[in-house]
Chains A and B, each alone.
Chain A
Amino acid sequence: MEILQYTEEHQQFRKKVRAFVETEVTPYADQWEKDHIVSKEVWKKTGQAGFLCTWVPSEYGGMGKDFLYSVIVAEEMTRSNQTGLATMLHSDVVVPYIASFGSEEIKKKYLPGCVSGDIITAVAMTEPDAGSDLAGIRCTAEEEGDEVVLNGAKTFISNGINADLVIVAARDPAETNPYKAMSLYLVEDGTPGFKRGRHLDKMGFHSQDTAELFFTNCRIPKKNRLSEKGAGFIMLMQKLQQERLMTAIGAVAASELILEWTINFCKKTTDADGKPLSKYQANQFAIVEMLTEVKLARTFLNKLIAEHMAGEQVVIETSMAKYWTTELSKRLTQRCLDLYGDFGIMEACPVTRAFRDLRIMSIFAGTNEIMKGIAAKFMGL
């Protein structure tokens, strides 16, 4: 019995996405890993194929599909074992801010490009001194007439190099209450005063262009502000649930994938006696234990997806899911590599890349410590 009601149309869509990923994404993954960035072309291809921002209403160029379409794209994209074509970040984390909080003019201007892949988006919240503690951001936004002047530095920004449009969190220096000081602004690539810093070297996510961004007297039109002035935190509170849910979806899909690889490897690899690795009791138990956890994660996750779609406030469960599933995927990469033996030390082993990539998931989208803190708070502890 399935928790999520996938229709025939959904299944067809999944097939299309899978075929697209197999021909247009996976074959390029190794090159992107070397380049530390993906081509802008593949974003356009993905958009043209109809796989970006599937939920955007048709009046803005989208298909107006339900959240399961987002889930399908996220799950299928995970199978490419690359992270640079961060469709989930774009479609289901960043663009929703524009659709929910942008003015009609802003939506008409940007959403069609977000759907077509002509506009790649990023969200810039984290700063060198403000990671988990978002209230501590220093980037300032001062309104002067019809313009807003941005000053400050952002770091660890995914899609940072490729982004054509960045949502920047900045504070009004005149407002002393940090929770009322933050606003979100849209900054286009090429705006004077907006510069990229270093393209950061990291353990994994090599195909993902993570960068520093600098704003120096960067002037943007005031109408590029999302929602009311000072509404930054309220918007974040509304949208972070989906970001964390998406992270959990990615973690569970990745867990299922690496376990599938590992099980296949253990079945087809024989030892010196010609005995498949999957015939050893210890390996069998390890696989059973791991698959049990993955199935628990999947059940919990699918229920959460259903609740999220029903518009329920599931902050506690979402925080729990984000924390637990990302820990799970990390633990699986550690454990699966042992089953591969010495091949597990080589980058040629697919789980090795996953080992490096998935490690960030317990840190981004709110660290797992922050997740536990949120759950504790909402539980009234």
Chain B
Amino acid sequence: MKQIRAFSSASAGMPDKRDDRTMRRPVLKIRSKLWLGLCLGACIFSPIIYSQNASNAAGDEAAITLLNGKCATCHGQSRMSELDTRNRESLLKGGSRGPAIVPGKAAESRLFLAIKREGDLKMPPNVTLPAADVEAIRQWIDRGANWPSTVKVVEQPTFWSFRKPVRSAVPQVSDTLWAKNAIDAFVLARMEKEGMRPAPAADRRTLIRRVSFDLTGLPPDATDVDAFVSDQSPDAYSKVVEKYLASPRYGEHWGKAYLDLVRYADTAGFETDHFYPNAWRYRDYVVSAFNTDKPYNEFVQEQIAADEIWSNNMDGDGSTRAPEKKQQDLLRRVGTGLFTVGSFPIEYTYFGEEARAEWQSEAVDVTGAAFLGLTVGCAKCHDHKFDPIRQKDYYSLAAFFAGSEEREIPLVNAFAVQTYNRQMPLIQFAEKLKSSGAGGGRGRGGAAAGRAAAVKPGVAGDQAALPAAAPGADANAEPSADPTRELSAAQMATRAVAMQKLGEAYARLPTKYATATVLAHSDSIPETHIMVRGDWKQKGALTEPATPPFLGTGPAVNEPKDVLVVPQRRKALALWLTSPENPLFARVEVNRIWQALFSYGLVRTPNDFGRQGDAPTHPELLDWLATEFVEKGYSVKQLTRLIMLSNAYQQGSVGDIQNVKKDPENFYLSRMNRRRLNSDSIRDTILATSGNLNLKAGGMSVIVPLNKEEMEAARMPQLWPPEPDPREWFRRSIYLQIKRSLTLPMLAIFDSPDSAVSCARRDVSTVAPQALALMNGDFAVAQADLFAAQVKKEAGDVPDEQVNKAWRRAFGRIPTAREKEIALDYLQKNSLSRLCLFIFNITEFIYVD
């Protein structure tokens, strides 16, 4: 009957990075008694103690408890290597390697040899069991591996993150004044246990700057800072939080972090680096979802399966005004664009099947990382080494995506499409002019593009109709070079006339109606096989859609086999993923929300909640937040508000030095973590400070001009035509085009992710090229000039006033006496522009307390 609930006391230990350490303590207590008993037994009785009649019920139970605690997470429901350690029969039967135990003969039992770590197989994979545990199991096997009928089979996985979160009681704390809400109680209880005190609250200037950056990625206006500082009303702080939560800039900042998570970019990467013309619609969809606080479960459901869950969208609706419900459902479908913006090596997807396998894998990887917080991708080539994810599970997940493919759909009704189509003769006329030689370019695209189009519609659809490749064309068809290179003067003149005509013809063309690239269904659902070693050519067993068994009962897919149906696979996956029964979904998301506000999550490996990831520093708090999140309808804003209103969040970043020494990593949250702004915020903040930030929201991604050096590695610079309108260059960073093969140096230098895979948390590096970018870079220097012009407009020619105004713009405050002295001294020897450049380089400018 006894079950050691290893996880229940996980918080008792240090928040070590390995779960097994936190789980070890309670087990240790039992074990030490047992160990003592065994030693005594061995001394008093006989050297041979493995006789079957030497019964030891307590020892048997303890051994089985060890098996349940240490083995059953993987060798339970998940039956890694076909082994189930949860009962005697299945141990005797064993797994793919043969029987696990030979009763009476530990030395011949695979299980024992594995935990002893003798031979090839060493288990558990990432931890050596303490010698006493190994010994207990040896004795148990030698005693005959008895299985008392009082021991129940474990149903639940034993690893903490694979069990459903349970809302724990809010702990009692001694400082009830400080503990303003439940979050504070959990945080303070932990500190009190360690004999720590929270840091004093941050002052109001610090606080509003923190709130503004955390919620919008932008600095607060100086006037807002002043208003908050002088606001005597009791709800002054919560008003500030509400103000920024309601700002449209909030969705941009939080949306950007989400786009990192789902490895968003505007091109496919690799040599051909195909362009995703509608990627921005998905980006705008994400920003809007955060701004409107769309329930997070619904948000994720839409991205995985809006077309299957809300299938009554506008497809084929010919009416001039579609019902509002249909229009809404259509916009939900834009969310499935998630699976159309990944990194995709289109130039080597020579075979349809390979391309499909590639796409399905990518879909599983991003889904696993973003919504399960697990390194599912490890199981592509083999069973996961540390988590109970079998290779079979990987391809069962992939099977959810079988029968889906991307498609460009109109976002307008059929009538609007026809309105455009009836102007086709104008388009054909222009095309004719162009192909008659006016344009100079010849149609190239080649076989590869055709092949790609066949398997990935919507990417190269236009090129699919082209004849076979031009002579010598590579898979990477190159846009024609300057066509005028070898023309005579007369030819040039003729060409000029033709170009004029062509230009006029193009000017008359209708503007194409709005489209989005979304998921749709293929005509049939192809089979999904396990790919042996991840190689698509080596087909293993056939898989059906199914979720990993260790995460509980999976969804049912109801698809009749022999009639035409709308596939329901992704719907099943989406509903299961977002169900409160999924132990990971809410935990993983609340952890990311926490991370956005504290720099680190309660689990510091936000995309790895598996056994190789970190254990939570505050497990009860994490689960409390997860259940609260579910109860309050998955409102990201509500949870954010709750955290921000806590005293834990409002702490200053300077704590007691003893606490800092004792807990340098600040696991116990006895102060706020100081952080550097991310690359996007640094650029946006420079623009905001110089007074040039263009707050226009949404729309097609902007191509900013880059200098010669920055363009150096660009293979086809002509495919980076800079936006002609300079005001567009000053849009927020989220609206700049992300080209996978050409990183924007200003952002890359400050650790922008490479969009290769899901990025749940950006690295923060401090390197000399960052200093060079802020001291010498074209962007910083140009913005410093504009900043100076702004200061001059506000302050005139009086240096003292210039310094005041500049400081107010940059830091939301006037300078201290010492700062002013240094600044004035600098200004005496340098121009105002240089002073402004100097300010961009001050640490405080890009750091938040």
Are these two chains actual partners, yes or no? no
**Which B positions have Cβ atoms within 8 angstroms of A?**
none
* Chain A contacts to B: CB under 8 angstroms: none
